[in-house]
Structure 1
């Protein structure tokens, strides 16, 4: 008996094309799913990394800003808000200084909630002395020539320095990226402490050096003179210490604003007083914080460029991740 085997129909060209299309569609879906997952992980990692960088910068900034900045006539530490430049009879403290460089920036746009977005602040600066309390382990230290040198006082500056050849895009329209620099130099609290810093008095990358009345280590009394302070902020040239003062890289903006009380009429009697308060919210959505009138506040300048009492300071740092092209910013507010 002959067994009958039915003829099996082969797959047609159309069916093969449909099967291939389905397979390719599934592969495309899987590829896009993996791509979305990788983009999400990459974005989350970037956000976490930028947050970590900003938090590290914030810790340094908070320590410096919340410390005392002056020595009064009795040698006791004093804060910036104790400097009543807005009142008649104010005289500079015998030790220390605080300088803010905060020229106004143009409004680039306004967001959906009506808040102003200013052009990036790339030239703002904070420059001041810091005095740590006695009996603590928070002294400032530097290593030089095989030795370690420390002091309770330091001259500190925050500013931006351009990153050569680094922009947000390869085209000329890309925004310049910067390093946020924290420059620190040791200062003797009084003349009695100059001796301990004398061995490195010639190292300008360690010591705040005075040029008047004689060359040597700055004290809190001599550093308040404009001519005895650090040179105009700029990044250190290539050398053994290059890069050690970089706090954050790929910075887009370092914005400093203040809240102040202006002087009244006749303060001082011989100089036009600063009677302009910070702009109100209707014209300044950062109120009560605002850019400094004239751009400069300096307790050590003669005469002071602004007769105002600084009550608090707002600092905004915006950073950029060139790998995923995202930005993030943090805002700190300090009662002074």
Structure 2
């Protein structure tokens, strides 16, 4: 009987003799790693924290190390995953697990910051509705043209302006600024849109070989040319759609083109850019009747810009289409 009792006590004695230190610890190996963003675009100077996820979720060791292929383009915190854009270019950010050396990558594209832009404005320069800038209230002599200039509110640009009274009232050529919304007259200088692109005041332009419209950048060391919004003047639009005593309505193959030529400080041409204000592919087409962007970056370094108009509707004395267009939001960018 004593022998049986002793045998029953043996398992209990064995369990009592084992401590927790004798148990084998379980290790969960790392099987992979991912990054929350496989691609990333940053502007120079920006920072972004990348997040790595180690698999499996219960991996024993989740420590990782971050590296970059091009520190001169994008640096990264070895322990933090904070990526900082240094210069324009592309770099590969790699995360590596300490246990198992598993990796994942993120392609970082660094771009230059968008240049700060400024827009020429004339808001507040006209108090009366449906009015326009006039250099003088009355021309001293009949049948004589006078040249003048004007600037925008921030003196960014200087615009040429010619005025006259040929006995039938004031007329302008080159540039004027206006808040006209009433374009009921067939020869109205108002924009066909009946409104400015932004605000209430925009530019109306009459440019010909005799009085070419131009503007100059007042501080070319600080600003370069970016572009402007343009549309058709009502006068030109009507000439292209219904015709008048001079112009003929457009049909398939007809076009109306605006050209901007850029000049340097020595009055040497540095280039030109074109935009079509009408380009009929069929008889049913219409001229531009909304504000469209005129990209002038190809002549960004121009100090002076001269505008000209061409049309397929020409005659013995030149272009029959009224040589008018409208412009708004002339934009410069800081160097």
- TM-score interval w.r.t. the shorter chain? under 0.3
Which structure has more helix as a fraction of its residues? 1
- Length-normalised TM-score, structure 1: 0.27
- Length-normalised TM-score, structure 2: 0.27
Higher relative contact order (CA 8 A, sep 6+): 1
Which structure has more strand as a fraction of its residues? 2
- Structure index of larger Rg: 2
